[in-house]
Structure 1
Amino acid sequence: MSDSPLRIHQIREQLRQQLDAGVFDKDHKLPSERQLSELFAVSRMTLKDALSALEAEGLIYREGRRGWFVAVPRLIYNPLSRSHFHRMVEEQHRRADTEVLSIQSELASPELMRVMELEPLTPIERLTRRRSIDGRAVLLVENCLVSRYFPDILKEDLTQSLTELYRQRYGYRNSRSRFDVQPAAAPASVAKALHLSPGQMVLKIIRVNYNQAGELIDSEFEYWRHDAVCIRIDSQCRVETEAILK
């Protein structure tokens, strides 16, 4: 049989049956592309098309040159919830870790001025962190903090939740957030941190946060492995949070 869309569909369905049946453990490494292409008697290109379709569904994932792995369940992420990353992960009975990759004091770039509605030459702190679930790096996040709101913050433990740090150290409560969600090609720095190939698709979330006085105090640029997260909007979380805050 020629390498056709029908053949790609057949390979995808056969692999899905194996995955659904639990033949492979979660995070199990699949046979190499060469082995699978020989097994199904198809070209590497056809085999990659079938694997990419399963990756888009979140059933498997690829890590650079290491190969393909069986995906774990996606993290459920409700932007309307006030839960921070560690709490959100722990509530879903998973393990969260955060690693600080870099800290820079700089002036807001033109892009950041636009996103955060800042005046020219506004000093900011840019914090880049890699976040993992069950030991797997799934998120690179750049937090951009308006410096005047956070004196001496660089002396704090920045692996912890910034939401909790803002509340405990500075008395800020997050009263409003604005989100932009879009697919994007992974920049080289993001790809390296998340063990992707440059240009591989990620889910990019731009979030700006306001304190209880309505002041825009920080923004986040989140780059998620798209196979690791499910965005679920549940307005009940917002209702419950608003009731607590009143």
Structure 2
Amino acid sequence: MTADSPNEFTKRFFLTLEQAIRNDLAEGRLAVDRRLPSERELAERYRTTRITLREALSHLEMDGLIYRENRRGWFSAGPRLIYNPLWRTDFLRMTREQNRRASTELVEAVSAVAPDTICKLLKQPTGTEFWRIRRRRRVDGRLVVFVEHYLNKAVFPDILQQDLTSSLTSLYRERYAIEYGEVSFEINPIALSGMPAAELHSSDGTSGLQIVRVNSDQRGRLLDCDVEYWRHDAVSIRIDTRDHLQS
């Protein structure tokens, strides 16, 4: 029998290492409260080097099985949140209906000039000021999405005085008698960077998903534009036309 070449041996060892970590994750032997041991402990456990270990962990991160937070280490990702753009429901309700726990943290609420792309989407002149509300959201305690909301100031003159950690959909309905009408979506894979990356405690370059949503009310008036920055492993976009639109 011919012995493996050094390169073949390295490849076989790496595949064995990666599969061992996958198995330990699947069987619940690796993470305690979703946190993985330190890289040093993992390298000792699997009898490998930190360099080889990090490459294996990076593969598992790309597959959405684990994720990393700056200065906190590695965590098992858990199930993705299902996001169907056809559902007319808010984040809190969507999460609750999947037996998950959601929370929202307000980062900023100010009057600000919107980027030219946002002005164009909302059919306003370049340089128009909107209410800019920035929030980050957790599912089961994990940071999963950073959102920038740009709201028409004429439609929502006093919204900054409201509880902005609650559902904007419910706030629109209860305070302003506004229901969503037509909605448009654009979904693109991105590399998280800058403020979205920092607010999600991820490194610049981490894989993400950007969802841009433009909302109109029941009379066709443009209301707002939401720009969502998701960690790629936290969400699954699923569209099924058999689903009923939810109010």
Task: Please report the TM-score for the alignment, with normalisation by the length of structure 1.
Answer: 0.89
1:79 to 80, 85, 95: 85
**Deviation beyond 6 Å, 4+ runs, structure 1:** none
- The answer to whether residue 166 in structure 2 is matched with residue 160 in structure 1 is yes
Output the CA distance in 1 between the equivalents of 2:112 and 2:180: 24
Does the residue aligned with 1:235 lie in a helix, a strand or coil?
Answer: coil
Name the counterpart of 1:214: 220
Name the counterpart of 2:100: 94
Q: 1:97-116, aligned counterparts within 5 Å?
A: 97-116=103-122
Q: Kindly provide the CA deviation profile for residues 170-220 of structure 1, in whole angstroms up to 9, marking residues without a partner as x.
A: 222111211111121222222221111122221111111111121221011
Code of the residue aligned with 2:128 in structure 1: it is T
How much has 1:34 moved relative to structure 2? 2.9
Name the counterpart of 2:175: 169
2:145 to 132, 139, 145: 139
Note if contact 1:27-1:72 (Cα within 8 Å) is conserved in structure 2.
no
Output the CA distance in 2 between the equivalents of 1:236 and 1:207: 22
2:136 to 111, 121, 130: 130
Q: 1:1-246, aligned counterparts within 5 Å?
A: 2=7, 4-25=10-31, 27-237=33-243, 240-241=244-245
Superposed CA RMSD in Å reads 2.0
User: What stretches of structure 2 of length at least 5 have no aligned partner?
Assistant: 1-5
Output the CA distance in 1 between the equivalents of 2:31 and 2:96: 22
Code of the residue aligned with 1:164 in structure 2: it is S
Code of the residue aligned with 1:150 in structure 2: it is F
Does the residue aligned with 2:180 lie in a helix, a strand or coil?
Answer: coil
User: What stretches of structure 1 of length at least 5 have no aligned partner?
Assistant: none
Name the counterpart of 2:3: none
Change over 3 Å in CA distance of 1:204–1:210 after alignment to 2: same
Instruction: Please identify, of 31-40 and 169-178, the stretch whose mean Cα deviation from structure 2 is larger.
Output: 31-40
Note if contact 1:26-1:70 (Cα within 8 Å) is conserved in structure 2.
no
Identity of aligned residues (%): 45
Residues paired across the two proteins, number: 241
